């Protein structure tokens, strides 16, 4: 089941983030900033955090929000699954949920930014397998030799 974040979920999410070996301390800190904002202010809608729960266990989450100054562009800030439960399709279910959230809110684009480092090849392959296109690449964005790759999926909403 996928549901909205509850304040009691915060420590469990932090534990999952700490299990992911490619994440550095700074990345975890940024992820937790968004988690804490969403948990402490249930009325805000900049960061929409949805939890994947199975048999009472939190196994992943996504954080999706509308990009400021746009009328239909959404960012997939984070999509995270517990590495101990990999290859169960949890990431795909979370991604499909994020896409549904964007569609329900009349979004045109869902964008996801990631690193060009070899350690992120599985992440890049995940987006490609799920019909995302590379929208752009910014060389040496995170650091020299570490480019930002922006993946996106366009949702065509016909005017009725």
Mean pLDDT computed over 4-31: 94
User: How many angstroms separate the CA atoms of 63 and 35, rounded?
Assistant: 8
Residues of the chain with pLDDT > 70, as a percent, come to 98
Alpha-carbon distances of 25 from 66, 107, 116, 134, 142, rounded to whole Å: 26, 32, 19, 27, 15
The pLDDT, as a whole number, for residue 42 is 81
Alpha-carbon distances of 43 from 70, 97, 102, 148, rounded to whole Å: 20, 20, 18, 31
Mean pLDDT computed over 44-54: 93
Pairing of strands 48-54, 57-66: antiparallel
Q: Helix (H, G, I), strand (E, B), or coil: what is residue 111?
A: strand
Lowest-pLDDT range of 26-30, 39-43, 80-84, 106-110: 39-43
**Domains of the chain as residue ranges with CATH:** 2-154 (3.40.630.30)
Quote the mean pLDDT of the chain. Answer: 94
Kindly tell me if the per-residue pLDDT of 160 is higher than 50: no
User: How many angstroms separate the CA atoms of 124 and 116, rounded?
Assistant: 8
How confident is residue 80, by pLDDT bands cut at 50, 70 and 90?
Answer: very high
pTM over cut 0.75: yes
C-beta of residue 93 within 8 angstroms of C-beta of residue 129:
no
Kindly tell me if the per-residue pLDDT of 141 is higher than 90: yes
The pLDDT, as a whole number, for residue 124 is 97
């Amino acid at each position: 089941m996928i549901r909205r974040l509850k304040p009691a979920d915060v420590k469990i999410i932090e534990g999952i983030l700490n299990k992911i070996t490619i994440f550095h301390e700074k990345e975890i800190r940024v992820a937790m900033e968004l988690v804490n904002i969403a948990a402490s202010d249930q009325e805000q809608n900049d960061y929409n955090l949805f939890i994947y729960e199975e048999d009472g266990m939190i196994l992943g989450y996504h954080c999706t929000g509308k990009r400021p100054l746009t009328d239909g562009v959404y960012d997939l800030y984070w999509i995270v699954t517990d590495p101990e439960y990999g290859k169960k399709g949890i990431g795909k279910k979370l991604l499909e949920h994020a896409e549904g959230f964007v569609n329900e809110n009349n979004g045109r684009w869902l964008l996801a930014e990631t690193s060009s480092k070899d350690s992120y090849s599985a992440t890049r392959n995940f987006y490609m397998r799920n019909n995302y296109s590379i929208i752009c690449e910014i060389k040496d964005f995170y650091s020299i030799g570490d480019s930002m790759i922006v993946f996106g999926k366009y949702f065509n909403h016909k005017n009725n």
